Amino acid sequence: MIRKPDEMEQEVRERMRGGNGVVEISHIFRQDELGGGARLFARLRLPAGASIGFHRHEGEAEVFYILSGRGLVDDDGTKREVTAGDAVLTGGGAGHAIEALGDEPLEMVAVILTYR
């Protein structure tokens, strides 16, 4: 299956998981297209100052792969700055949050894998 960017489902979430601002989501493939083992494969864009609030991943893991911009990740209580090329893995009941830093948007790919 090949999907062009203009064919991807677009979504905007305000105050995602209790965060600030809006998160723009481009669903690369939908859950029903991914088959078992995954529930999200999307490109996320957080404008400057936007964030995804702290939340836990029970029975699943989430990967963030940073494409551009700068962010601050709370990885289950450990806070670190991330930039292009960095990756974050959260699962097994741990939680995380992410915030766009600076004047540029933070762009990343997010994948949620479900445990079998």
Is position 1 within any domain? no
Task: List the CATH number of the domain containing 100.
Answer: 2.60.120.10
Specify the pTM.
Answer: 0.94
Is position 55 within any domain? yes
Q: Report how far apart, in Å, the C-alpha atoms of 28 and of each of 9, 41, 44, 52 are.
A: 7, 6, 10, 19
Using pLDDT thresholds of 50, 70 and 90, give the confidence band for residue 7: very high
Is position 2 within any domain? no
Is position 86 within any domain? yes
Rounded Cα–Cα distance for residues 69 and 47 (Å): 10
Residue 98 lies in domain:
8-114
Burial of 61 (0-12, 13-18, 19+ CB in 10 A): middle
* pLDDT value, residue 54: 98
